[in-house]
Structure 1
Amino acid sequence: MDLLIKNGTVVTESESFIADIAVKDGKIALIGKNLPLEAKKIVNAAGKYVLPGAIDVHTHLAMPFGGTVSADGYLSGTRAAACGGVTTVFDYPMQRKGKGILETVEERLKMCAPQACVDYAFHCIITDLNEGSLLDEFQAAVDYGITSFKCFFVYKKEGMMVDDGTFVKVLLKAKEVGAITNLHAENPDIIDMNIERFLKEGKTSAWYHYLSRPEFVEAEADKRAIHWAKTFDAPLYIVHLANKEGVEAAAAAKLEGYNIFVETCPQYLEFTCEVYKREDGRNFVCSPPIKGQESQDALWAAIKNGTVDVVATDHCPFQSYEKDWGKDDFTKIPNGCAGIENLYPYMLSKANEGKITFNTAVKLCATNPARIFGCTDKGSITVGKDADIVIYDPDQEFTISVDNMHSDYDHTIWEGVKLHGYPVQTYVRGELVYDHGNFVGKPGFGKFIKREPRIRKG
């Protein structure tokens, strides 16, 4: 064997048990107690948890936005992922007017392949549904391994928004080819109306970013999207859902048997909209914005009752001087925050504190993302799966600081947050990439994950 991890508490989505894990050729070969095996490397994980690597299905690496580019490219973003126990990263290439889906993806693949420190996959954002992408390329993309497409109900001026008709066309075509539609749901017209009013009134601080797109602005779009998904019986994945009404609408649709999936993010679980009143409130500007306490409580309840399927990050950090562009005008603040290195440690810390179970953390951050998005070799500690493994020390205290992160940004909204327990090692396909605070992997080691469609054709 290449690797033998002994005596750890293995955690799956449904159970926890002490066992050894043997790894051969990048795959989990055996799981059992006191395995009498020899291995090139033996790790004693007694007193620690052994978990599947997390899958962050929502990142924006090297993304042009707001007059700049997000601070983490494919090297630093995937390096940070490895150091937070994330072994697979999904990025969002953006198809622009006149460009094809595969053309868009392959451009990003060329950027990512020589830099990626962990495995990676892509969703493709659809902004211009030309006849080629609709009639031909959806099937070609699925054959290529791209089994999810994203639409925006916002960012009209930036040329990213789709109307309801285009969204429904994407829903239907994605359903036909066995893909799933992801959606950023907010109401653009109400946002624009609010922004125009606030700017006229001289209300320009970060607090008005939140007030320009409060709970009901997101809730309306959630409900509208769910209505269309139900009407056409098409799968829908709502990204970064942050409001109580949206949670309730999704829960109702799920109870009716529809394939509605809900993602939320750690920033919505930790902070409330009160952060926008802080002097550094602009650093927390993201869209949808962080909401009030009632919505945060609803999200935690939805995690516990299963309405929330996935916790991912929407990782899209910018430098502090770029955030400062909007110090006197919230509309000039690049939207996005850091999170890729904090996702798994944060959720596991909440498990360690007893807010959720470790099994729930694994389900939200690893098993469900793999299941929903067709990563058949990922997401669980199972014989035959990729040996994407995290060893977690529940006794290690850790305080997040920009100084102990592994990204290229110069600040983090997570500064000073204390975590109880922390990952000590990360393995990607059996190779050690993170070891007790240090990145030990290699750029270019990560590989593209070709995903399976949701519906197999006979």
Structure 2
Amino acid sequence: MLLIKGGLIVTAERRFDADILCDDAGRIARIGADLEAPTGCTVIDASGLLVMPGGIDPHTHMEMPFMGTTASDDFFTGTAAGLAGGTTSIIDFVIPDQGQSLFDAWRAWRGKAEKAASDYGFHVAVTHWDEQVHDDMGRLVREGGVNSFKHFMAYKNALMIDDTVFLRSMQRARELGALCTVHAENGDAIAFLQAQLLAKGETGPSSHPLSRPAAIEGEAAQRAITLAELDDTPLYIVHVSTEEATQAIVAARLKGLKVYGEVLPQHLVFDDSVYHDSDWLQAARHVMSPPFRPKAHQKALWGGLISGQLQTTATDPCCFCQDQKMRGRDDFTKIPNGVPGIEERMSVLWHHGVVSGRLSAEEFVAFTSTNTARIFNLYPRKGCIAPGADADLVLWDPSASRTITAGALHQNVDYTLYEGMTLTGLAVKTISQGVVVWDEGTLRAERGKGRYIRRLALGRERPL
């Protein structure tokens, strides 16, 4: 058993002084003032610290095969790094091979994830349509504990689907009580612009954002919302990076549509100037999709979070080491798209959100944990501090600072976007399943300790 004493508990709704007793089953047993420690119980003094629900990252890509290579973080190294930063659960993506059934792909990715150090779930990508896909979606919801399906409007001739497939998947998801998630960029327009840039000899990383302008994301977001509105299908738009997409989400929500938006901390911090670095490799490190935008878009993203029109923050970590990035040395379209960041996410958002005065501590909890738990039907098992909930907690020092360096991080990648950035707000201790797994700089992540968390269909209440 574990007793946390003297901390200030912060949830998405309030803050209060209380102790937390965690039982041997990895659940919160009691919350109250001046709790007595049972015999043999480990006691943690949390004086001066905030005690918050562990972070949930709803958008990760561990050991994902992509663009001719494979993401360098596997399910152990990636989730272990997450624990070091205060993230205790992830939702990753199952990407079926060409012609592979969704259910078989899900089973294969379950196998890969058995090494995870923290709890995990899956979204499953729909990349084509036939009766097998229709049947597999039902089986995944009923038997697999999957309640969300991913759709790519980008990556032509690879992952991209057309509107007909999207509509069929939306209708099936709605009848199953599942959520459609979408990568909203116009893949046809991107392919057209990429070809034009290459024809002009524009082969470097600076062409990456030119091939994916903000308007292309805005158009795709609006189109996805329009398609979802036809059958009132809940829609979750991942990695929103533009004012145009934000405005489309706001307008949809004002109409009463169930549309949600996700923001990545890196889009709140970096702008498109990163692609103009004279060092090719430094610029290539930042190649991800959607790309970093002109700084003006950051104001819209912060505004969306502050107003509650955007609901979650994720990392979208798809880590590629620098030698993998070199695959696109002579052609920017071959630079593997993806960046690291799962370990830094919560500190980046605290520093640039709470310390700056943009967000309250309660809003921070909502954006890093609770909103994700609610949207994807993990709540109240995850994302809250209450008797019966999982004892996934982070003890947070709101005033401690550190300067980020790649060598001090735990992701299996040889750089960080935040190199040299000093951040205030740190996870002092991370508790997963009632066990301290990150302890003031010491990582005690255990391979295979993570559990697969089944998620009920939307609208079905998850009991504690």
C-alpha contact 1:48 1:394 (8 A) present in aligned 2: yes
Whether 1:412 aligns to 2:413 is: no
Letter of the structure 2 residue corresponding to residue 117 of structure 1: A
Which position in structure 1 is the counterpart of 2:438? 434
Whether 1:86 aligns to 2:90 is: no
Which position in structure 1 is the counterpart of 2:233? 234
Which position in structure 1 is the counterpart of 2:15? 16
Letter of the structure 2 residue corresponding to residue 338 of structure 1: P
Whether 1:353 aligns to 2:356 is: yes
C-alpha contact 2:37 2:43 (8 A) present in aligned 1: no
Query: Among residues 315, 318, 321, which one is paired with 1:319 in the alignment?
Result: 321
Cα distance in 2 for residues equivalent to 1:386 and 1:210 = 41
Q: CA offsets, 1:203-240, max 9 Å, x none? A: 12211100110100111000000111112110000010
Q: Any stretches of 5+ residues in structure 1 without a counterpart? A: none
Per-residue deviation, 1:154: 1.1
Which position in structure 1 is the counterpart of 2:284? 282
Cα distance in 2 for residues equivalent to 1:352 and 1:386 = 28
Cα distance in 2 for residues equivalent to 1:370 and 1:444 = 22
Of residues 218-227 and 316-325 in structure 1, the stretch that sits farther from structure 2 once superposed is: 316-325
Q: CA offsets, 1:401-456, max 9 Å, x none? A: 11111111011112112111210111111011111112112101100000111034
Per-residue deviation, 1:339: 1.1
Where in structure 1 do 4 or more consecutive aligned residues deviate above 6 Å?
Answer: none
Cα distance in 2 for residues equivalent to 1:354 and 1:17 = 20
> Where do residues 78-157 of structure 1 align in structure 2 (5 Å cutoff)?
78-113=79-114, 115-134=115-134, 136-143=135-142, 144-157=144-157
Q: What TM-score, normalized to structure 1?
A: 0.97
C-alpha contact 2:246 2:300 (8 A) present in aligned 1: yes
Of residues 395-404 and 41-50 in structure 1, the stretch that sits farther from structure 2 once superposed is: 395-404
Letter of the structure 1 residue corresponding to residue 15 of structure 2: S
Matched residue pairs, number?
Answer: 453
Q: What TM-score, normalized to structure 2?
A: 0.95
SS at match of 2:36: coil
Which position in structure 1 is the counterpart of 2:296? 294
Cα distance in 2 for residues equivalent to 1:128 and 1:15 = 44
Letter of the structure 2 residue corresponding to residue 395 of structure 1: S
Question: What is the percent sequence identity of the aligned residues?
Answer: 38
Which position in structure 2 is the counterpart of 1:165? 164
Cα distance in 1 for residues equivalent to 2:58 and 2:231 = 25
Per-residue deviation, 1:388: 0.2
> Where do residues 15-94 of structure 1 align in structure 2 (5 Å cutoff)?
15-24=14-23, 25-38=25-38, 40-94=41-95
SS at match of 1:275: helix
Cα distance in 1 for residues equivalent to 2:361 and 2:349 = 8
Q: CA offsets, 1:252-302, max 9 Å, x none? A: 111111100101101101101111111211100000111111111100011
Cα distance in 2 for residues equivalent to 1:30 and 1:456 = 26
SS at match of 1:95: coil
Which position in structure 2 is the counterpart of 1:308? 310
Letter of the structure 2 residue corresponding to residue 75 of structure 1: F
Letter of the structure 2 residue corresponding to residue 22 of structure 1: L
SS at match of 1:129: coil
Which position in structure 2 is the counterpart of 1:394? 398
Of residues 19-28 and 326-335 in structure 1, the stretch that sits farther from structure 2 once superposed is: 326-335
Per-residue deviation, 1:399: 1.2
Letter of the structure 2 residue corresponding to residue 367 of structure 1: T
Letter of the structure 1 residue corresponding to residue 111 of structure 2: K
Cα distance in 1 for residues equivalent to 2:449 and 2:93 = 20
Cα distance in 1 for residues equivalent to 2:152 and 2:434 = 37
Letter of the structure 2 residue corresponding to residue 266 of structure 1: P
Q: What RMSD in Å do the two structures reach over aligned CA positions?
A: 1.3
SS at match of 1:196: helix
Letter of the structure 1 residue corresponding to residue 82 of structure 2: A
Cα distance in 1 for residues equivalent to 2:32 and 2:459 = 34
C-alpha contact 2:7 2:45 (8 A) present in aligned 1: yes
